[in-house]
Structure 1
Amino acid sequence: MVTDKNPLLREGERLDILKRENIQIIQSPSVFSFSLDAVLLADFAELPRKRKATIVDFCSGNGAVAFLLTGKTENPIIGVEVQDRLVDMAKRTVQLNQIEEKVSFIHADINAITEHIKPDSVDIITCNPPYFKNLNDSTKNNLDAYTIARHEILLNLPQLMKKTSQLLKMNGKAYFVHRPDRFFEILDAMRANRLAPKKIRFIYPYEGKEANMILIEAIKDGKEEGLKILSPLFIHDDSRAYSEEVKAILFGE
């Protein structure tokens, strides 16, 4: 059994378990740890299990979404992350679990991704992008890993949708998790880049509260008609424990 004294761990890092995938993932509370939005995005994405497909995860962070996707397909997953510390964590997770044939990572800026991956070559893209605009106000910290991951300092919505469209094949699919308050911006950026939203699901902390996350499926060059608004997902039940659906997503229960 691997312990937190594993030589692949660095100071301040710990091992957590992705239970359904049986993967031990390296995390660092002071640098970056994935949250529930990554888990929900990976669950929402529809991947071919056996049919050959190129699958890319943008804004991979420490690789959580990429690792979670391995349980849904026999195709390898390619993660793309701009921050070298996070790429290093993700690559050490690959080494730790000996899953080199399942997951790999590219250290790159999404804005320069066509230098690494050919345009019109990708079947599926997933992305848990920066949620917040790059505002010069007191709510932002220094440019640490967490701030870069959460604010549009290096990648904004129009840039994300442009590069998503460039990489996807015709009828390729993209899956995003984001914030509902930016819904119209997301749709505008999609339509400007030949991406048609096809499925939308709003996520709520619990019944009676406003939605705080949104999941969106888009298709490149897809028809605009046929948009589906899926049933709401409630994170917690009346007792504030995880809902049955969320427990199934997290633990396979």
Structure 2
Amino acid sequence: MTNPILKENERIDQLFSTDVKIIQNKEVFSYSIDSVLLSRFPKLPSRGLIVDLCSGNGAVGLFASTKTSAKIVEVELQERLADMAERSIQLNDLSDQVTMVNDDLKNLLNHVPRSQVDLILCNPPYFKATETSKKNISEHYLLARHEITTNLEEIFSVARHALKSNGRMAMVHRPDRFLEIIDTMRQYNLAPKRIQFVYPKLGKDANMLLIEAIKDGSTEGMKILPPLIVHKDNGDYTDEIFEIYFGKNSRANG
């Protein structure tokens, strides 16, 4: 029996700690651990308005929806990914809370009021668009991974106009762009406040960076949080990651 909400080559995955189900297609786009960690990194406002930029198939906003009553607006340029996200919203009966906007993030203020957003989440393309960008991957992955349709300056410029004063922005990115991210945030009156490096294993170099900034915030008081290790030496998730994926009591019950 096929699920009528699914299209060809799609499957439904579940983040067990939340019961949220996400429509995935490995040929088009699948969320990974960066989306999960981003949805759990900032303190979510209990109400108000959250925007998820570069939302892909909607995973970050959908995961965040279980921890807040705030309205969530997801913004995704690619029609195929936005369609997957819209069907995931329906699948989880979240249409009253979560809205998908299929548009360029440059047009965000056509969809949300200026200076009224409490929190912006963003899992952007990580790589600069160069001649050596891997062109053999699908167009969907190419746009999701490379700064072809947007870049840091554009994202932070949009965030500055959409966020309330003292509103926050949380982003996941690559450590090799760390200084560029901080410099660009400051150009747009976003003061970095919380930073956490994510490591695949103990003793390995960091491969992810979580960063949270406050609009119009003081440039003082930035915190570097303890490192987040994803895997133990044997390949299993560390306790902290296991809890994020499966919930606090699942290991004891497993």
Which TM-score band applies after superposition, normalised by the shorter structure?
over 0.9
Q: Aligned with 1:218: secondary structure? A: strand
State the 1:25 CA deviation. Answer: 1.2
Structure 2 contact 17–243 (Cα < 8 Å) conserved:
no
1:193 aligns with 2:191: no
Aligned position for 1:128: 123
- Tell me the distance in 1 between the aligned counterparts of 2:8 and 2:163: 38
1:204-236 Cα shifts (integer Å, max 9, x gaps):
011111000000010000000000000000001
Aligned length: 248
After alignment, is 54-63 or 99-108 more displaced? Answer: 99-108
Aligned to 1:54: 49
**Counterpart amino acid of residue 64 in structure 2:** L
- The one of 154, 158, 162 equivalent to 1:163 is 158
Give me the whole-angstrom Cα distance separating, in 2, the residues matched to 1:185 and 1:196: 13
Q: Which amino acid aligns with 2:213?
A: A
Q: Partner of 1:38 in structure 2?
A: 35
The DSSP-based 3-state class of the residue aligned with 1:46 is: coil
Instruction: Please say if residues 24 and 97 of structure 1, whose CA atoms lie closer than 8 Å, have aligned partners that are also in contact.
Output: yes
The yes-or-no answer on 1:73 pairing with 2:68 is yes
How many Å apart are 1:91 and its aligned residue?
0.6
Instruction: Tell me the C-alpha RMSD between the 2 structures.
Output: 1.2
Structure 1 runs not aligned, ≥5 long: none
Moved more, 56-65 or 101-110: 101-110
Matched, 1:24 2:27: no
Q: Is residue 2:4 matched to residue 1:7?
A: yes
Structure 1 length-normalised TM: 0.95
Matched with 1:92 is 87
Aligned-residue offset at 1:141: 3.1
- 252 and 142 in structure 1: CA distance in 2 versus 1, 3 angstrom threshold: closer
Whether the 8 Å contact between 1:21 and 1:70 is mirrored in structure 2 is: no
Give the CA deviation at 1:173: 0.4
Q: Give TM-score, length-normalised by structure 2.
A: 0.94
Q: Hey, what's the Cα distance between the residues in 2 that align with 1:221 and 1:143?
A: 39
